[in-house]
Amino acid sequence: MTDDPAAHDTAATDAAVTDTAVPRADRQTRGLAFTKGHGTGNDFILTLDPEGVGRTDAAFVAGLCDRHRGIGADGFIRAVRSSSLPEGQALLQSDPEAEWFMDYRNGDGSVAQMCGNGVRVFVHFLLDQGTVELQDGGELAVGTRSGVKRVTRAGNGYAVDMGPWEFIFPDAAVARGMDSLVEIAGLEVDRPALSVSMGNPHTVVALAELAELRAAELHRAPTVQPRPPEGTNVEVVVPAEPLVGDDGVGRLTMRVHERGVGETQSCGSGACAAAVATRFWAGTGAPDRWLVEVPGGVVGVRFFPGPDGREHVELSGPAELVAEGTLLAAY
């Protein structure tokens, strides 16, 4: 960086990062173009890196996502051709349509398998960059670390086949309707929960009323026992009263603490897991369509028979791109 005052004047339109953000490495990030986007307030920094040569080390990603010394985001998404990454190459063997791979990292720089809001924003970013074409109703195959996800363009948003769901601790879940206890700051006693995999791990806690939901201090990581092997995201939900409206759609309100990030405005895969758990608790006759209200908006969840014979979950919602910029300094 430079101390030339004229250079600092350009910070209004370009994103600058100071030398103190994270240790300086090489200069391959200077001039890196990025886009900022979000899905119901779950925000991301996106870069186009077709050959997969850009930096993705934890210090670099954490510095970018820092809301005081970086750009600020819940996560970092790199658009890479699947053929340029070992994970993508493996997916191409069974699904050659998955040309693009969503290389996703949490805000702390840790690698993540999947992000439901992120994959919608990822497809919107590819369209904006002109790397793909997708008409309304059209479908795009996207490679992720939890397999190939198919994203359909639907009006002002996108619908994602998130794949099948499963319980992380199935024996306990089926036998007792819960498989773990969760300690949440702001709530007086530990709460029973269900742990659900949507390709990434989630633990869902149901509360009786919105006052409890507001009292939960989700800026602190809840303690989950037993803890899923790869850690977990924790969703705290309040089912609507009545649970199902006259339109046959189930409704619930949710907040979330995401592993590697903290509390976020929304979590797409978490909304799916919350609907899975609430539907299971509701029992026979529970609906297949749900609306999940999060601090950043509303997303839709739908259960349907998948092509593999298992029940799949579809996530639908908006995707927005809000800014473009260029890094001024190397990390």
Per this entry, what is the length of the chain?
Answer: 331
Please confirm, yes or no, whether 267 is among the known catalytic residues.
yes
* Binding site as annotated, residues for substrate: 42, 106, 116-117, 200, 233, 258-259, 268-269
Half-sphere exposure of 144 (CA within 13 A, CB side): 29
User: pTM score, two decimals?
Assistant: 0.88
236, 267, 274, 319: the catalytic one is 267
Tokens at 135, concatenated: 């008409």
Domain ranges across the chain: 5-163+320-326, 164-317
The full DSSP string for 146-197 is TEEEEEEEETTEEEEEEEE-EESSHHHHHHHS--EEEE-TTSSS-EEEEEEE
Architecture, CATH, for domain 164-317: Roll (3.10)
CATH assignment of 5-163+320-326, given 3.40.50.12780, 3.10.310.10, 3.40.50.1370, 1.10.287.470?
3.10.310.10
- Is there a common fold for 5-163+320-326 and 164-317? yes
- 115 catalytic? Reply is yes
Q: Which of 64, 115, 194, 204 is catalytic?
A: 115
pLDDT in tens, the chain (331 residues): 344 444 434 333 344 333 344 444 344 678 899 999 999 999 999 999 999 999 999 999 999 999 999 999 999 999 999 999 999 999 999 999 999 999 999 999 999 999 999 999 999 999 999 999 999 999 999 999 999 999 999 988 999 999 999 999 999 999 999 999 999 999 999 999 999 999 999 999 999 999 999 999 999 999 999 999 999 999 999 999 999 999 999 999 999 999 999 999 999 999 999 999 999 999 999 999 999 999 999 999 999 999 999 999 999 999 999 999 999 865 5
